[in-house]
Amino acid sequence: MDTKPIVLLASRSKPALAELLSKLGNETRYDLRSRHVENGHADPLWGLSFVPDVIVMALNERGHDDLSEITKQASAQRPPMIVLAEKGDAQTMRIAMQAGARDFLPGALNLEELVASIDRAVAQTVKRPDGSSSTMIAVVNAKGGSGATFIATNLAYALKTTSKHSTALMSLDMQFGSLMQHFDLKLKHGLMEVLENAHSLDAVALDAYMTQHESGLRLLAARPENAPHGQTDRSRQLGTLLDKMAEQYERVFVDMPRRVDPYMECVLERADRLVLVVQQTVSHLRDATRMLEIFSHHGLKDEQILAVVNRSEKNSPIGMEDVRRAMGEVPVVSIPSDFKIVSESINLGVPLHAHARSSAVAKAIGALADTFAERTAEPGGSLLGRAFSSLLRKQPWSPT
């Protein structure tokens, strides 16, 4: 970005404002400004001569009243608001949601958590110099082997070649990723190397780390030989990287392994859309409904999710109507089965849109890519999902 994002710190408590300014003082990426909210005007935007990019509001004992007043002013045009509540509870969280808060951070001030929240808000709301905005699309299997990597690679390629959006595709499979095989390319840099340098990356460095396909699609994946063997959690670095990718590219696809851990949670907080890849079996549908419950807990709405039935067969005992009933309000589309064409594409390392553009599979994926050509959902990472994470701290679920 050419200019620093303006972050407005607001509170009725002068000590709370002083603490925020002190702790955020080293974050030179922001243009920090403060506002002492006084009696008569609960809205921190009242009378301001500028519009901040993000509002950080620290509540005091009058927090419920202030949030209720802001609720009357809430609109889609207001900048995203992050609410800090030392005595945060479910009631405060609900009122903050009604006031349009993007994030809710209860308990004692955690600087790392706050900075990550600000970064997310900035990445989702501040446009690039060319005026365009970003959409992040996560792709994940409902059950292992459903074909999420195939769908992700071909969706990203089709979108890049037909819409001309700047597009990046990242795989989070640290040990058995096959992303690069679909393009017959070797990685320039591995994901772990990029994560280690995430905080220092600028636009030029980030693009240099990506492997570029001849189509212009940018790719990033892990080197299996460099997969982490310990328990080091690099999800915060992943969050920083995803935020910077959202600033850099108009469409960001993330191919996720089928498990819920801090890495997946990091993606779900930021995803605008999620593609859940399923097949026509009872076990696939059972796992898919469980995954939908998990996505709901992380704040994703049904309209942000798309179920893609891969390798669909008209004569399958589990028909498309069965899939739609299992998916509830989540939209469902299908990709026809064509083992020969798909196998040739993967074995040659040539995306389907280039290998067999007139095939039924390529046409179906092309039609699906068209749905992502325009922004169709509000940014993900809702307050509800992070509030559940902060207040409930459920144990990560990993499918067996």
- What are the residue boundaries of the structural domains of the chain, listed by start? 6-126, 135-370
**Inter-CA distances, 81 with 85, 145, 305, 312, Å:** 13, 40, 25, 43
Domains 6-126 and 135-370 share a fold: yes
Task: Tell me the CA end-to-end span of the chain in Å, nearest whole number.
Answer: 43
How many C-alpha atoms does 300 have within 13 Å on its Cβ side? 30
Phi, psi of 76 (to 5 degrees): -65, -20
* The architecture CATH gives domain 6-126: 3-Layer(aba) Sandwich (3.40)
Spatial separation of the C-alpha atoms in residues 254 and 194, rounded to whole Å: 15
Can you give the pLDDT of all 400 residues of the chain as single tens digits?
446 889 999 998 899 999 999 999 888 888 999 999 887 778 888 888 888 889 999 988 777 777 877 776 655 567 888 999 887 777 888 788 777 787 888 888 888 889 888 887 776 665 554 555 688 999 999 998 899 999 999 999 999 998 878 899 999 988 777 899 999 998 888 898 899 888 888 888 898 999 999 999 999 998 876 665 555 788 889 988 998 899 889 999 999 998 888 899 889 988 989 999 999 999 999 999 999 999 988 888 898 999 999 999 999 999 999 999 999 999 999 999 999 999 999 999 999 989 999 999 999 999 999 888 764 434 444 444 444 344 433 333 333 3
Spatial separation of the C-alpha atoms in residues 200 and 44, rounded to whole Å: 32
Beta carbons within 8 Å of 294's beta carbon, 6+ residues apart: 260, 397
CATH domain 135-370 topology: Rossmann fold (3.40.50)
